[in-house]
Amino acid sequence: MSLPLVEPDLELLREGRVLIDVRAPVEFAQGALPGAVNLPLMDDEERHLVGIEYKERGQDAAIALGERLVRGGLKASRVAAWRRLVEAHPDAIIYCFRGGLRSRTAQQWLVDAGITRPRIRGGWKAMRQALCARIDGAAEQPQLVVGGLTGCAKTSLILALEEGLDLEGCARHKGSAFGRHPLPAPSQIDFEHAMGLRLLDLPGPLVLEDESRRIGTANIPLTFWEGMVQAPRIRIEMPLDWRLEQIRKDYIDDLWEVHRRQFGDWLGWALMRKQLAAALGRLRKRLGQARLARLQRLQALAFREHERGNTSAHEAWLAPLLTEYYDPLYRHQLEKHPERHFLHVGDWESCLEVAREWSAQARKQGRPVPQPA
């Protein structure tokens, strides 16, 4: 019986199809396709042993070892897991690394159990190549970069636009010492896949935040980054009190909500305090010992007030953090690139309007977007 195949079409991801990733857990952790569920054919140790057998004795011996390792009740439990997922998602598709032996084996075992599902031709590798090609093609789309001091709500502006590409969201990091997310950061591969997936819905102009190439643990792909560097810019300028309110929302209120939702009140509170204290400590070299000690005292006092319901107390340490650290750092970056000019400098609302006007004009010009082969 010929087992069905589907082509490595990015529409599968855009449609939100559930994918059965039969690779080993260690491979899945390094990077998976969006929408994938890891239900491996072999666990890490089994895969390791089969790999050694393949190198030493060839493919047939490796297949025979795999059949000996995964049989009986173990085989039945893995087929049952695939079956449960397919029953919940009848349009699920199977893939392995290259769409070869492992996904074919999973297909056949499912067929033997009365279920026929296709596998992706070329597997994970072919789909990844298509996603990376989409990112490279996006480097040639019109881009507008939004800059501004910390607390100017640049991300909120990006999210308010249909053309917005939230790179920090893809990286699960706000791009600063205080920007870590309570959940683990994605792998570099998963960051790129999240970015590529978002770009499937953005064939025209792009509006994105001014970023260094590295966001948390992720690096923006070089070709795309080079396009960002050359893109036109706008800059948001807002007064300190407005920015303080925004930064308190980002660094305190929103962070607390995530911690509480993930870990509960007691543990979430302890972990949030630990995270913010550690973030401040990482600025020791730039702040100097005396200034750091002052901010640490203010932060500790703010947490005591926070426990009494006064979250605005955090402004006592957030204000000098902005004026003595983040603002000089951003202005230094501006001075390093005097050749960069801004299409517009103004408040948040005016920058949003300019971004919308720029996007409309870019769409009218209709520059074609290179598509992946």
Question: Would you please indicate which residues are annotated as catalytic (active-site) residues?
Answer: 96
Cβ contact 194:170 at 8 Å: yes
Residue in 366, 372, 354 with CA at minimum distance from that of residue 161: 354
Show the tokens assigned to 5.
């195949």
Q: Tell me how far apart the alpha carbons of residues 349 and 218 are, in angstroms, rounded to a whole number.
A: 30
Cβ contact 343:232 at 8 Å: yes
Q: Tell me how far apart the alpha carbons of residues 270 and 263 are, in angstroms, rounded to a whole number.
A: 10
- Per DSSP, the three-state class of 309 is coil
CA distances from 185 to 23, 224, 272 (A): 21, 21, 16
Q: Which residue has the tokens 């910390």?
A: 150
Q: Tell me how far apart the alpha carbons of residues 332 and 341 are, in angstroms, rounded to a whole number.
A: 15
CA distances from 291 to 140, 199, 201, 223, 299 (A): 44, 43, 46, 40, 12
Q: Which residue has the tokens 């000690």?
A: 293
Q: Which residue has the tokens 């996603």?
A: 131
Q: Tell me how far apart the alpha carbons of residues 196 and 205 are, in angstroms, rounded to a whole number.
A: 15
- Per DSSP, the three-state class of 254 is helix
What's the angle, vertex CA 75, arms to CA 71 and CA 81, rounded to 5? 175
Show the tokens assigned to 106.
């999973």
Q: Tell me how far apart the alpha carbons of residues 179 and 348 are, in angstroms, rounded to a whole number.
A: 21
- Per DSSP, the three-state class of 159 is helix
Cβ contact 227:43 at 8 Å: no
Show the tokens assigned to 354.
């300019």
Show the tokens assigned to 336.
């390093």
